[in-house]
Structure 1
Amino acid sequence: MGVLNLSLPLFLYPFTNAQILNVTLKFWFKYAIIIFIIIIPLLNQGAYHLFWGPIFLISCFIPILPRKWKFICTIILVIMLFIDLGARSQVIKSAIILLIACGIYLQRFISSNLIRLIHGACYVIPVILLYLGISGIFNIFKDLSSPHQGKYIEKKMVNGQLIEDDLSADTRTLIYQEVIESAIKHNYVIWGRTPARGNDTTLFGDNFENLKMGKNERFMNEACHINIFTWLGLIGVILYTFFYLRASYLAIYKSNNIYIKYLGVFIAFRWLYGWIEDVNNFSISGIAIWMIISIGISNEFRSMDNKRFKNWILNCLPY
């Protein structure tokens, strides 16, 4: 599992080719809706973003899609936005995609400097917040959620039972604490603990996976970058960051079309969000992230003008 999860960047090799990515997306869109209808009873209620990864890529370009696909993508995003507020990752991703689509629609009124400012902020802000959190000065998860604890409760039916979900709950501080303390205790801060191991845990020590392995370790957490840190250490986090940084920089500063510039902002956001969630597992959702990064890195995509890229997007839609 660890090797598969860390092999995701290998998708850069095929997906930087516009034809290969086009065929892949066209095939996925042709059958995705049918498959989704069939397997919907098996999916977690509300957590549909794990299945609809490629929709996030296409939905960035809602302003240039045909009317039918504008309707389909907008409906899917709105459903994910409101069907389950407790699925906070899904809500946030859907909202950001709609903002990017609005940005493309209003591109005449948005300067290149603003795009570059947002891009830089996505990389600087997490580093500052991580330092403040580790030093004990300011914990964004705890300090922002504490004043609102218990104020935003969503009630929903799960398996026939009424469940109350606190939308303001801090679900990350203890995970970060366990990951960092485990790395210091076992001296794998620099090089990591290898993809075969996880971080020491007391929060999740009694789950099936840990009982099966006979270790009090959590192999994978919800946040992408802290998994990379556990498996490959700071060296791995830095190298992993270069993929996002290189792709978003080239997309924003070295692209011949406006659409990829906005995609570069989304790539930068996904790196920022990787400190909160965006688990990097070998799945449709995980692969879709590398489709997006591939477009930013690809010389072929970045050399396209607005018209050529629009035609490529339209050709990804099967009907």
Structure 2
Amino acid sequence: MLPIAFMSLQRFNLTPIKSTGFWWLMQFIVLAIFLIGAIVYYKPRNQRLLIAFNLYMLWTVISIVRGVFIAETYWDWKGLTQNTFAILLPIVVYSILDEEVLQSVLSFYIKITIPILMLSSISIPLSYWTLFLYPTCFLLLFLPVLNTKWKVILLIFVIISLIDIGGRATVVKYCGAFLLMALFYVQLFISTENLIKIVWKFLLFLPWVLFVLAVTGLFNVFNFKDYIKTDKVIDTKYASGEIRQQDLTDDSRTWMYIDVINSAQKYNYWLLGRSPARGNETDALSLILDEVTGRKERLKNEANVPNVFTWMGVIGLLLYFMVFYRASYLAVYKSNSIYIKIVGLYTAFRWLIAWAEDPYTFSTNNLTIWLLWAVCYSPSFRTMNNMEIQIWVRGIFNKKYMFLYKYMKQYTNAKVIKLDSYQFGKRVH
């Protein structure tokens, strides 16, 4: 957790080590640790559940291998190396399917990683602290479970993350988590079963509808000025200390999609993609890129859906969608707890966000998405009832509850009964 958090703030050089090779080595070590964890904790009963995820990871590896043959220049090889570490980070899912592993990881993050990063980040603008605070989005989904002390601490982290409202994507991620968490209180008064299923379908399929509307010229969701008539200009402080004015209604995504689609059409890599060694041609930034790399080619965009499409083609994008679909479906339809259903909705919400944000990076932001995937896929989480989830969550913050959860797991003689083709069942005490 510590190296991932530091790498999330790598642009600020918080450590005296500035060697690219050193940080590549750290990323390799982190991936190796997760891979060892996958071997130790991965259970055969998860195999059927993870078909979509396994296929996506297999296609990711195939795309990386293709990149070895496609790379030509220094920039291709450097891009392939950087992207390889980032797009292999989802292997964390195999390790944290085990609920005790995830509990320990999050406990270390809250009690050790955040304090160390806060002390190390005193010299940088407070608004950038969100770069290592993103996993608090995940914890925010369980806010009703926490005692007053930890509710206050978590909300302070959220406020810090929202200091800069110019970071529109960050605001949306936290507001989305907060609104979905509120469903816990709503279900205390009315049945939310049908509402959760409707919201799930809406979040998953809305991006496809909006994409078709934009391509056909009927409606462009990114062109805020068409339906938001008030200009909202704020001052944004950048890492360099420079303050610039930013219009919150500016369209900063349409040109990116135009570049991605035009590039795919020009070089005809729709199906397989260009591999992580190459990017898409761009007109908007062509002069800058041509001067640095000798190509009018952008290796990575601000949104992850265009990146997945460019690197892995339509096949990769559909598999990427299927991972979100399958994970959120299992959480919404095949879980015993309202908390896990809310996690499923937030997972579908992050699929929606991926069309505008969340590029593949070795960071806590992307790690948060893989945490969501793991919880949704895990039979252990989905078989828990509300009380068991509450004890598990409190164990992240308090060792007393961590020991209590382990005691319950070991001595309650719980058995998982195979109800259907999935390893999903109820507990028999």
Instruction: Answer yes or no: same fold by TM over 0.5.
Output: yes
* Cα distance in 1 for residues equivalent to 2:262 and 2:128: 30
* Cα distance in 2 for residues equivalent to 1:317 and 1:256: 23
Residues 46 and 103 of structure 1: is their aligned pair in 2 closer, same or farther, counting only changes over 3 Å? same
- Deviation track 1:175-200 (CA, whole Å, cap 9, x = no partner) reads 01001100111101111000111110
- Aligned counterpart, 1:37: 118
- Aligned counterpart, 1:118: 199
- Aligned counterpart, 2:367: 287
- Deviation track 1:27-52 (CA, whole Å, cap 9, x = no partner) reads 11111332232232565652433211
- Aligned counterpart, 1:273: 353
* Cα distance in 2 for residues equivalent to 1:146 and 1:39: 43
- Aligned counterpart, 1:245: 325
TM-score by length of 2: 0.70
* Cα distance in 1 for residues equivalent to 2:291 and 2:125: 24
Bigger CA drift: 213-222 or 284-293? 213-222
Residues 99 and 235 of structure 1: is their aligned pair in 2 closer, same or farther, counting only changes over 3 Å? same
CA contact (8 A) 1:103 1:110 kept: no
CA contact (8 A) 2:165 2:171 kept: yes
CA contact (8 A) 1:47 1:87 kept: no
Residues 310 and 161 of structure 1: is their aligned pair in 2 closer, same or farther, counting only changes over 3 Å? same
Equivalent of 2:344, from 264, 271, 275? Answer: 264
- Aligned counterpart, 2:233: 153
- Aligned counterpart, 1:194: 275
Is there any run of 5+ residues in structure 1 with no aligned partner, and where? none
* Cα distance in 1 for residues equivalent to 2:104 and 2:241: 42
SS of the aligned residue for 1:226 comes to helix
SS of the aligned residue for 1:220 comes to coil
- Aligned counterpart, 2:148: 67
CA contact (8 A) 1:192 1:233 kept: yes
Give the % identical residues. 35
* Cα distance in 1 for residues equivalent to 2:338 and 2:92: 24
Residues 197 and 149 of structure 1: is their aligned pair in 2 closer, same or farther, counting only changes over 3 Å? farther
Question: Which has more radius of gyration?
Answer: 2
Q: CA deviation at 1:257?
A: 1.0
- Deviation track 1:71-114 (CA, whole Å, cap 9, x = no partner) reads 01112223323x11111011111111211222212322351100
Q: CA deviation at 1:149?
A: 7.0
- Aligned counterpart, 1:137: 218
**Aligned-residue CA RMSD (Å):** 2.0
Letter in 1 for 2:304: C
Letter in 2 for 1:139: N
- Aligned counterpart, 2:21: none
- Aligned counterpart, 2:311: 231
* Cα distance in 1 for residues equivalent to 2:250 and 2:204: 25
- Aligned counterpart, 2:297: 217
* Cα distance in 2 for residues equivalent to 1:150 and 1:119: 31
Q: Report whether the alignment pairs 1:16 with 2:97.
A: yes
Bigger CA drift: 253-262 or 6-15? 6-15
TM-score by length of 1: 0.93
* Cα distance in 1 for residues equivalent to 2:354 and 2:207: 10
SS of the aligned residue for 2:358 comes to coil
CA contact (8 A) 2:281 2:297 kept: yes
* Cα distance in 1 for residues equivalent to 2:174 and 2:122: 22
Letter in 2 for 1:232: M
Residues 211 and 34 of structure 1: is their aligned pair in 2 closer, same or farther, counting only changes over 3 Å? farther
Is there any run of 5+ residues in structure 2 with no aligned partner, and where? 1-81, 400-429
* Cα distance in 2 for residues equivalent to 1:220 and 1:43: 25
Letter in 2 for 1:8: L
CA contact (8 A) 1:15 1:21 kept: yes
* Cα distance in 2 for residues equivalent to 1:281 and 1:8: 9
Bigger CA drift: 245-254 or 103-112? 103-112
- Aligned counterpart, 1:28: 109
Residues 202 and 35 of structure 1: is their aligned pair in 2 closer, same or farther, counting only changes over 3 Å? farther
Q: How many matched pairs?
A: 316
- Aligned counterpart, 1:299: 379
Letter in 2 for 1:268: A
CA contact (8 A) 1:29 1:318 kept: no
CA contact (8 A) 1:194 1:230 kept: yes
Specify which structure has the bigger relative contact order, considering alpha-carbon pairs within 8 angstroms and separated by 6 or more residues. 1
* Cα distance in 2 for residues equivalent to 1:244 and 1:42: 37
Residues 129 and 216 of structure 1: is their aligned pair in 2 closer, same or farther, counting only changes over 3 Å? same
Q: CA deviation at 1:296?
A: 0.3
CA contact (8 A) 1:150 1:166 kept: no
- Deviation track 1:140-168 (CA, whole Å, cap 9, x = no partner) reads 112x3246477110124545544211011
